[in-house]
Structure 1
Amino acid sequence: EGRRQEGRVWFGRTEMNERDDGFDWNDRGTFLRAGISVEVVVLLIGLGLGWLAGINPWSGCRVTPVSIAWGVAATGPLLLAFGVTYTLSWSPLLRIRELLVEMLGRPMALCRWYDLLLLAVLAGVCEEFLFRGVIQPWMAGDDAARPLAIGFVVALIGSNLLFALLHPVTPTYAIVVGLVGIYLGLVGLVDPLPDGGASPGQLNLVVPMVAHGLYDFLAFLVIAGESRRRDAARAGVTGIVESD
């Protein structure tokens, strides 16, 4: 009996919010704990795989004003792609938008901006740590610093195929995520690690981390704003119906 249902009716449609006393997705604290836990697990997996493969992804992080600037600049094409896919009326893209707003909109709308920033930073750091910092160089082996080599290309595609499969919202969404992953797997090469240090010539992991995190933060704000807008519109319609 720990579960209860709350419903509201709008023009004959009932919205049911199932609540469980132990887990309420539409609760700010629960949502944040779940999101943080997922990213911590991703980071721990990256640390474990890195230890097994003898790879230290932190050695691939060179924080400089240049790397941060490149990361911010690299967000531009991602935001352009997001804007195009978010506004097109193609049904597979509309379905992605509806699912994202339906699944994430309400809990994100309850969050403060700094909550969303925290989740975005964790996603950028932890996911890039695992996929671009461990899996991609592990698969590339000796070709990790040679982007034209077959080993690098295979690793780039293979690691991002896995990245896409772990985002199975819809097949189209998985394809989009895979393409974004390939972009992030290349963009760090604009600021390669210097000779004489660890992993010379390989991508600087800071660049995709910044790009990923900033992109996620802005996308989260859009999704949260869309959810608030829809809730406000529904509340207005409900008020009109009740006044009649």
Structure 2
Amino acid sequence: MTKVPLRSDNFFKKACYFEASLILVAMLLGWIAHLNPFANIHFTFGSLLYGGVGTLPLFMMFLAMEKVQGHSVAQIRQFLLRTLGPSLHRYDWVGLLVLAAVAGISEEILFRGVIQPWLEVSWGLTAGLLLSNVLFGLVHSVTPLYSVLAGLVGIYLGVMMDIQGDRNLLTPIIIHALYDFLAFLALMRAYRSGLATQA
């Protein structure tokens, strides 16, 4: 039986709904752990500044990996182009920004807003940071290398949450969302370039 490809509008809506549902998961886990997932979101100039500047190292890493010719890196690149390209290339930057924002907000509220502090209570700050991001890497296990990279990115986001001394979840939310947005733009540019070459 031939597999019917997922329509781009269906993918976009399902991706947004799935990511948004993670907030409900965070609220449920927060209720179980007696933690408020939104308690550490503070709108400050510092969080905006660190969020914007803190995105640059991740995006530079993304651009550098586009130049790497290794099999494992090429495997990640091909997977992302194959799965995201056909579904998202029809969307303009506004649509990509919406998806990136929903993903950044929901994943950070779940992992850095609930799971990391929950583990910190039982295991301490360092173990909470590491264990929560082992889990973050596992749920992003597209390939073994991608899982490791996602875990390292998660550790970076967890550290950036405390970069100002006072914990502020808005900083990793901004970094995550802005990074995803820039990565989406770069992936869509590469995908559209490939389509133009084939035409």
Q: So what's the TM-score if we normalise by structure 1? A: 0.78
Structure 1 residues 176-234: Cα deviation after superposition (integer angstroms, max 9, x where no partner): 000000000001212233xxxxxxxxx21000000000000000011111111111111
Larger deviation, residues 105-114 vs 216-225: 105-114
Please give the secondary structure, in 2, of the residue aligned with 1:79.
helix
Separation in 2, partners of 1:141, 1:62: 21
Corresponding residue pairs, total: 199
After superposition, residues 35-54 of structure 1 pair within 5 angstroms as 35-54=15-34
Separation in 1, partners of 2:37, 2:182: 26
2:190 maps to 1:226: yes
Separation in 2, partners of 1:192, 1:53: 24
Equivalent of residue 149 in structure 2, options 140, 153, 176: 176
Deviation at 1:31, TM superposition (A): 1.7
2:170 maps to 1:206: yes
* Partner of residue 180, structure 2: 216
The runs of 4+ residues in structure 1 deviating greater than 6 Å are none
The one-letter code sitting in structure 1 at the alignment partner of 2:110 is L
2:95 maps to 1:115: yes
After superposition, residues 1-244 of structure 1 pair within 5 angstroms as 18-19=3-4, 24-27=5-8, 29-141=9-121, 151-193=124-166, 203-235=167-199
Contact 2:12–2:88 under 8 Å retained in 1: no
Contact 1:106–1:228 under 8 Å retained in 2: no
The one-letter code sitting in structure 2 at the alignment partner of 1:49 is L
Structure 1 residues 121-175: Cα deviation after superposition (integer angstroms, max 9, x where no partner): 0111100000001000000017xxxxxxx71111111101111111111000000
* Cα RMSD for the two superposed structures: 1.5
Contact 1:46–1:130 under 8 Å retained in 2: yes
- Structure 2: gaps (5+ residues): none
The one-letter code sitting in structure 1 at the alignment partner of 2:36 is N
Where relative contact order (Cα < 8 A, 6+ residues apart) is larger, the structure is 2
Deviation at 1:87, TM superposition (A): 1.3
The one-letter code sitting in structure 1 at the alignment partner of 2:86 is R
Separation in 2, partners of 1:43, 1:86: 32
Contact 1:108–1:223 under 8 Å retained in 2: no
Contact 2:85–2:191 under 8 Å retained in 1: yes
Q: So what's the TM-score if we normalise by structure 2? A: 0.95
Separation in 2, partners of 1:157, 1:122: 24
- Structure 1: gaps (5+ residues): 6-17, 143-149, 194-202, 236-244
Contact 1:124–1:209 under 8 Å retained in 2: yes
**Larger relative helix fraction:** 2
* Partner of residue 11, structure 1: none
**Larger relative strand fraction:** 1
